[in-house]
Structure 1
Amino acid sequence: METGNNHTKTIHNIVDEAYNASSTLLYHLSIQIGLNEFSYCILDLKNNKFLILKSYQYDKIFNWTQLANAIENTIKTDEMLKSKYKSVSVLLEHNQFTIIPAPLFDNNNQKDYLKFNADFEQNQSFGNDILKSIEAHNVFVIPNVVEKLIFNYFGANKITHHTSALIESFIKSTKNSNEKQLFVNVHVSSFDFVLIEGNKLICCNSFHVHSKEDFIYYLLFACEQFKLNPEKIKLVVSGDIEKSSDKYTDLYKYLRNVSLIGRNNASHHSYKFDEIPEHFYYNLLNHYSA
């Protein structure tokens, strides 16, 4: 359904009847921002239960300033985003990040770490997530317009890169195994490739894709680079991918051991969440517990 203007589309709008607008100071708000999307969920902290999930997509967005303007319009028209919450966390999705082992990390060199594999404006800010599970730092770009927007409307001054939450969650799920395991987290126009062996991160990369052919090409190319046997490697899929889609059909065509990730049982979910597959919004719904 279209909402606000012709360039904003509501993808999901899940609202539990238990949501109480006068009790939002007992709730946690989790936000996820990508270059053409904005999603959020609301967790009732007292009952440890997710009550709300909303997702918007924007077209004709070509830079972060346009995205910030689109999100601001969404905030102004979505009553739930005007409330005050006990706490707010923010995930930022993009491929301008790099992971540095803790012994080699120097806080003064964040810009230098990124300049080799990321294009960014000189006046951008930088984030630094500590990845305790692998003793490393995830250094990433924070567009100033996004940082200002989040602070002005939500008072949040901590923005986490989306791959940090993925890595911590996936490492936790494989800690009792020494086998290599591949995780693919799918977005509208990109996907994350996370390869783990036991409690070690082998690779984390994000690929921008324009078509389903791009998706399977880059995935198989990455598998080839790490000498992964498509017949044997265990692939766990999360994110924006329908089981009936061509993307998922291609996965089964080229890789034999494919499964969809389930929801984290660290929190409860409203029965309304049954409207969407369990692997949708995996990162957003796991961010708080991770």
Structure 2
Amino acid sequence: MDTINTHFRLSHKIVDEAFDLSQATRCNLYVSLSQKAMRLAVADAERNKFLVLIDYELITVFTPLQVAEQLQLIATENPLLQEKSWNTIKVSFSNQQFTLVPETLYDPAHQSDYLRLHADLNPIQDQVLAYRHSTIGAMNIFAVDAALFRTLQDIFSGRPIQMLHQTSALIRSVLHQGSLSAKRNTCIFVERDYVTILVVGQNGLEFCNVFQYHTPEDFIYYIVFVMQEQKMDPEQETITVWGDITHDSSLFHMLQRYIRYIKLGKKPTDVDYSYKFHDLFEHRYFELYSLHLCE
């Protein structure tokens, strides 16, 4: 990989003065991977507090193999990825290759068969994994590119890595955000080119899917379509928004045209954050913080 060109840039970095790599044994490392971004965070498990956040933007990266190549390059210069003594390492993946199966129906021997009903799997290129949601009695079955899977194993030299689909972190955190009520709620998580839509009701998670959009019109179409299919009125319901979206963006303006009540989400509760995180928008980096809540 020495001949691979650099296609990433550091877009944000926060390091609390109290953090030192010598503390790694009591800290958790969280990694969030997508085709557009690679984000790292460190939380002190003993103090239950986030101390570090590093955000890399991936540029002209189009395939999972290229993501793996950029991850390898970042690992050569980032001390967090060179450290091997973390208390826990958790990695989430953002893609559309996932499905939720009731735990009572789940058979590990057939997890690829479950996923094949919802995604085009390549037995050579795809590594199929599963994550158990004890709170909703379901298994999230998902695929990871084999090259990316091997790169992570190489970087952490055989250390145990908890790998999960990004939707699992979002589900866990959204359900944790507040007590369930009779009123159903629509939550969305926005990334570049993708939007995850969740509907939560009195009995827990009712809907979860990831949609790819190319224009603001695509973006709002999926949101309104899901709300209508779920018998929810965009003129009456409030939706909660997290992710890479700002008040002055075309996506937010499109939301305002079609959704009457929009609320920007907050950071996960029951965990502290270094004072250096206070300048960040509350709804940003939700997928990264949410890894802290996953079992």
TM range (shorter): over 0.9
Q: Distance in 1 between matches of 2:176 and 2:51?
A: 25
Alignment CA distance shift 1:186-1:126 (3 Å): same
Q: Is the 8 A contact 2:29 2:41 kept in 1?
A: yes
Corresponding position of 1:90: 91
Tell me the C-alpha RMSD between the 2 structures.
1.7
Q: Is the 8 A contact 1:266 1:289 kept in 2?
A: no
Alignment CA distance shift 1:172-1:51 (3 Å): closer
Corresponding position of 1:63: 63
Query: Does 2:253 correspond to 1:231?
Result: no
Q: Is the 8 A contact 2:32 2:39 kept in 1?
A: yes
Name which of 158, 177, 195 aligns with 2:162.
Answer: 158
Q: Is the 8 A contact 1:133 1:199 kept in 2?
A: no
Q: Is the 8 A contact 1:171 1:198 kept in 2?
A: no
Kindly state the Cα deviation for residue 109 of structure 1 after the two structures are TM-superposed: 1.3
Corresponding position of 2:109: 108
Name which of 186, 198, 203 aligns with 1:199.
Answer: 203
Corresponding position of 2:12: 12
Structure 1 residues without counterparts, runs of 5 or longer:
none
Q: Is the 8 A contact 2:6 2:73 kept in 1?
A: no
1:206-221 aligned within 5 A: 206-221=210-225
Corresponding position of 2:146: 144
Task: Tell me the alpha carbon deviations over residues 221-260 of structure 1, each in whole angstroms, 9 at most, x when there is no partner.
Answer: 2222222101222211111111221211221221112101
Structure 2 counterpart SS, 1:210: coil
Structure 1 counterpart SS, 2:227: helix
Task: Tell me the alpha carbon deviations over residues 63-120 of structure 1, each in whole angstroms, 9 at most, x when there is no partner.
Answer: 2111100111011111232123222111111110011112222211111111122122
Name which of 186, 190, 197 aligns with 2:194.
Answer: 190
Q: Is the 8 A contact 1:193 1:206 kept in 2?
A: yes
Q: Is the 8 A contact 1:89 1:156 kept in 2?
A: no
Q: Distance in 1 between matches of 2:177 and 2:50?
A: 21
Alignment CA distance shift 1:226-1:265 (3 Å): closer
- The TM-score normalised by the length of structure 1 is 0.93
Q: Is the 8 A contact 2:189 2:196 kept in 1?
A: yes
Q: Distance in 1 between matches of 2:92 and 2:102?
A: 22
Name which of 278, 281, 288 aligns with 2:285.
Answer: 281
Corresponding position of 1:25: 25
Quote the sequence identity (%).
Answer: 29
Corresponding position of 1:266: 270
Greater mean alpha carbon deviation, residues 170-179 or residues 228-237 = 170-179
Aligned residues: 287
Kindly state the Cα deviation for residue 217 of structure 1 after the two structures are TM-superposed: 1.7
Q: Distance in 1 between matches of 2:178 and 2:45?
A: 27
Structure 2 residues without counterparts, runs of 5 or longer:
none
